A and B are shown apart, each in its own frame.
Chain A
């Protein structure tokens, strides 16, 4: 069997084994939402004339008039059929909402992660090459700043400077300038869809809209990535094989990139996976500040309104993505270091 098929089979097996965990997440969130105080029916029947009757109507609509075990049973059956229920906040089926919004969150997260890796890895390497130097301290300072400034502060600051004062950035609302017509939806990733449609003016509009939120998010995660890179590089630069490589007179560039970095990349990969999953869910503040129509702000709105279905759907989606990301990281491990198999 070829290496690829083998990896795929292992990955498939690995995925199946994580299904019970997903089921656990499902049941746990279901119960958690119902334990939280606040009756969604009362909240949604908050119109000027809403009385007992309206509350009962909404309760029935949400299926909350049934006993809890029956609600859970129905919910599990529905989920198995791909039906995640209906959101009262948006009035849409949750699966449709998530499908519409997930690409927005992913696009933003990927862009941010790309920017973060592109700056963090070189920074980490630079810091590791001269530990204790000015560069090292500079990187440490930068990381501290990035971590300690909350994203909504840095986001609002970036908006204030680049949109409000300087006018360089487009207005920070949504994924594309409101007057730009959207490309036909192929992937949901605007950059890809615009490129497919050959609309480069639109592509530019979407890309420029993406810059500020992506930088805001990137700032926040540069620190863990750079610190891990630095630590891993330090240990790998100090190891025997690097000393050997130096002693036989290999070029400095070759030693750093091929020998040291390749060996230091594993912990960076691990942390990248974790950072990615956290970013996707934790970037609710960035999504709020930039009116980004992503899944995290959607889930937060739903949570504040005690709108059960979207929150449950969101948690399930996050769990699913976490499983997938771990799988991808495991596979990348195998590529970075063939001694490690997916099993």
Chain B
């Protein structure tokens, strides 16, 4: 062999040259072809598990599991101000072909698709659904707490009627039972495969499912490197897309790129197809250049707040809270922090002082008015103001930092001295959980953004998400009753009452819904804003 290299004959030269030319000609072509059929998604976050119900699983992990697992049902989509968003009110079948709700609202019967198969080729049956939902309400995982919000708490509620019919019984008619089954947690596992990997200590195969999948979803995991990348290939047998189709992309790459500006470069150079978590500046710049498609959707199921702890003085005084509400430079903050990319929740006019709608959230009738702020401060018995600290977490610094600076400047004008405190994320979470922060900014997200869900989860009880530590018997009572109210008009009236009450006591100030900027190659189509605030890769196709 060696003398080939030492003394190539003329013939060998020719052969070598031909081979080189052949390689250089074919290689880019093959590359380009696989590129067109591949979706490359870059993100700053990490995928840390393949089982979305694992405690500590990240949002990126949810997005991956949406492609590898099916649920019984999923949300339809609707247009909101010209952008496609998920629609809480239309629940369509995914593994279920159809479902019926009994007239009293207590029984939901699912008729499963007979052609649905798991990725190993075995059919999806009601037994698998039963095992999966039993797991969701029994195992120590994130699913349990979520399904609780839809009155799904015990395996007794789930019944196999026949291999393709499955029944869920509810103790009370609950509007959120069905939507809950469309969230990322109640995924349907291949129960035979999962059981084969269960152990006595781990009856629900949680350890195994962290790194393996046993689902029926649109994509199959090819490689999974936690915190680096996940590569998936299409499950050709999957037909749960629109018009019973398979997923459009043959391959899917989900890659972690921590540096935000690099993500922007990648998508601008065409090396990545879509990214959702750019800095607002980058998204605005890319939009201005006009080469890429930028779909900017206000996160209609999320809210940013300026929060107070209503149990810590002086914020236990409603006049202090109102003084601050009228002393915030809303417009400047919105421009400086978000570059105006979002939906403002201030500056409304409520004609008779009552909430005009029973939805949540709705724009509040507050705007910067220092004279009014001073009046409230005087009414609180603190005409000279006071000193306090305003906290935010480092992870949100690019939005919260300019906001905090403007807030500090504006509050100083009415005598409130603010010290800004920037906390590491884990420390901030801990302090919020222990209810030790007096004054801070935070965001909330509700997967199921119905009015009562917001009030029940964010304004009631001694839980972390009740940022303002509000304990108002009237709000608690109406919100709990609204949950089971079937009459739409009455529900709306309850919402108006809650919104009015909420504004009167001002436990915290909703400021805006930040936009989710999805920046993608112009050829990408089908992007829909989803409840989990991630890209549902199954929605996308290339023109």
Contacts and interface: CB of A to CB of B under 8 A. Distances in A.
A53 to B, nearest CB: 7
Contacts of A23: none
Contacts of A45: 55-56
Listed residue (B31, B56, B259) with the most chain A CB atoms within 10 angstroms of its CB: B56
B200 to A, nearest CB: 18
Nearest to A293: B228
Interface stretch (A126-134, A172-180, A246-254, A316-324): A172-180
Interface in A9-58: 37-40, 42-55, 57-58
A48 B52 CA distance: 13
B55 A57 contact: yes
Contact of A39 (B148, B257, B259, B429): B429
Interface residues of B, number: 57
A164 interface: yes
Contacts of A55: 433
Contacts, number: 145
B464 A42 contact: yes
B426 to A, nearest CB: 3
B259 to A, nearest CB: 5
Nearest to A96: B226
B172 interface: no
A88 B146 CA distance: 21
A167 to B, nearest CB: 7
A297 B258 contact: yes
A69 interface: no
B345 to A, nearest CB: 19
Contact of B446 (A48, A57, A290): A48
The DSSP consensus for interface residues of chain B is mixed
Nearest to B272: A171
B352 to A, nearest CB: 35
A164 B269 CA distance: 7
Interface string A145-161: 00000000000100110
B269 A91 contact: no
B145 A50 contact: yes
Nearest to B445: A48
A56 to B, nearest CB: 9
Contact of B55 (A44, A48, A172, A201): A44
Contacts of B255: 173-174, 178, 291
A215 interface: no
The residue among A47, A289, A293 with the most chain B CB atoms within 10 A of its own CB is: A47
A175 to B, nearest CB: 10
Contact of A291 (B27, B211, B225, B259): B259
Interface stretch (A274-282, A300-308, A335-343): A300-308
B29 to A, nearest CB: 13
- Report, nearest first, the 5 A-B pairs whose CB atoms are least far apart: A38-B426, A306-B426, A44-B56, A38-B427, A90-B226
Interface of B: 27, 31, 34-35, 38, 40, 42, 46, 48-49, 54-57, 140, 142, 144-146, 148-149, 210-211, 225-229, 253, 255-259, 261-262, 265-266, 268-269, 271-272, 394-395, 424-427, 429-430, 433, 445-447, 457, 463-464
Interface of A: 37-40, 42-55, 57-58, 61, 88-92, 97, 100, 156, 159-160, 163-164, 167, 171-174, 178-179, 201, 288-291, 293, 297-298, 301, 304-306
